[in-house]
Amino acid sequence: MSSLFSRAMCGALFLSAFAFGIAQAQAAGEVNVYTLRQPQLITPLFDAFTKETGIKVNVIFAKDGLAERIAAEGGNSPADLFLTADIGNLTDAVNKGITQPVKSAVLEANIPAQYRDPEGHWFGLTARARVIYASRDRVKQDTITYEELADPKWRGKICVRSGQHVYNIALFASLIAHNGEEKTKAWLEGVRDNLAKKPAGGDRDQAKAIFAGECDVALANTYYFGGMMTNDKEPEQKEWAKALKVMFPNTANRGTHMNVSGVVLAKHAPNKANAIKLMEYLSSDEAQRIYAEGNHEYPVKPGIAVSEAVKSWGEFKRDTLPLAELAKLRKRASELVDEVKFDQGPSS
Ligand SMILES: [Fe+2]
C-alpha cells in the first residue's frame, strides 16, 4: 500500500516537474543566433545560458555570408543576434542596415567603452592583440614597434598575409589614427619593401614561414599562437610555436593594437528581450572566461582569467584607441594598401 502510494506520488511529482519544465521553456522562449564563430567555441556558452535561463538558443553556423543572408531575409529574418570577428565585419553589419541599437547598463558596465559602439550597434565580447611573431634564434631584441617594421634593417625579413585582410586594415587604420595618413603611407611602402615574399595565406602560415627560415618576423593575431602551442591534432604546429616568440609592439608608448570579436542585435530580431539577455550573459564574468579561454583570446571585461597559453606571453600595454574611431579610417587604410601596391610585394 505504502509502496503503491509512494509510486503514485513519485509519478505525480515527475509529471508536474515535466509539465513545469515545458511551461518554463515556453515562458522563457528562444533566441536565434547567426554566427561566423566556431561551434566548439560558443556551444558551451549557449548551453550554460539555457541552463541558467531556460531560454533555448537556436544557432546557425557558417563560415561566411551571414550578414548578406540577414540583409536578404529582410523583415522576415529569424535572426536575433549576429556574432562575428573583427571591427571591420561588425561595422559592415551596421553599414548594411541589419542592426539596431541596444541600451543596456549591464553591457555598458562590463564592456569598456573602447570596445563598443557609442551608439550601441555593436559590442566587443573578446579581444585579441595584433602582435609580432619573431624567430627566437634570429631576432635578439626584446622590444619592438610597428613603426620600425619599415626600417631597412628588416629588408627581406617580414612575412604578412594580404594587406587588405580585415585584421591588417584595422591595424593600418590605427596607424593612420596615431601617425597620420602621410606617415602611414610611407610606412606601408617601407614594410612592403621589407617583405620576404608577396603577402599570402593566413596568420598561421606566416608563423610556419618563420619556422622554415623564410622570414624573421610576421604580423599576426595572438590567439593563433595559443592555437599552435596547444595543437594536438597537428603537433608540428607546436614546433612552429616553440621556434617563435610573441612580441607586443609599442608597449613603451601607446600600446599594442587591439581588435575584437563581437555581437550585433539584428534589426528585425523577433526575440529582442531574450537576445539582449544573451548579450548581457556573454559579457558576464563566467561567459567572458569561457569565451576568451576557448580561443586563447582576452576577455573584454577587465579582471577575468585568461588561458595558460595567453598567460605565458605576459602582461602588456593595450592601445586604448576606441575601435569606433579606428573604424572611420578603415576605408582610407584600404585605399593606401592599393595605392602602394602592398600585396604585390617588394618593389625591388
Ligand atoms: Fe582569425
Residues of the chain above pLDDT 70, percent: 92
Residue 12: the pLDDT is 42
Q: Are 130 and 318 in contact (CB under 8 A)?
A: no
Residue 289: the pLDDT is 97
Compute, in angstroms, the gap from residue 142 CA to the centroid of ligand 1: 25
Compute, in angstroms, the gap from residue 115 CA to the centroid of ligand 1: 18
pLDDT confidence tier of residue 347, bands split at 50, 70 and 90: confident
Compute, in angstroms, the gap from residue 274 CA to the centroid of ligand 1: 28
82-128 pLDDT, tens digit each: 999 999 999 999 999 999 999 999 999 999 999 999 999 999 999 99
- DSSP codes of every residue in 39-66: HHHHHHHHHHHHHHH--EEEEEE-SS-H
Q: Are 250 and 266 in contact (CB under 8 A)?
A: no
Specify the long-range contacts of residues 136-145, CB closer than 8 Å, at least 24 apart: 136/242, 136/243, 136/244, 136/245, 137/243, 138/216, 139/216, 139/217, 139/245, 139/247, 142/247, 143/247, 143/251, 143/252, 144/217, 144/247, 144/249, 145/249, 145/250, 145/252, 145/253
Residue 3: the pLDDT is 40
Compute, in angstroms, the gap from residue 188 CA to the centroid of ligand 1: 22
DSSP letter at 288 equals: H
Residue 30: is its pLDDT beyond 80? yes
Compute, in angstroms, the gap from residue 86 CA to the centroid of ligand 1: 9
Compute, in angstroms, the gap from residue 35 CA to the centroid of ligand 1: 14
Compute, in angstroms, the gap from residue 27 CA to the centroid of ligand 1: 38
Compute, in angstroms, the gap from residue 259 CA to the centroid of ligand 1: 11
Compute, in angstroms, the gap from residue 54 CA to the centroid of ligand 1: 32
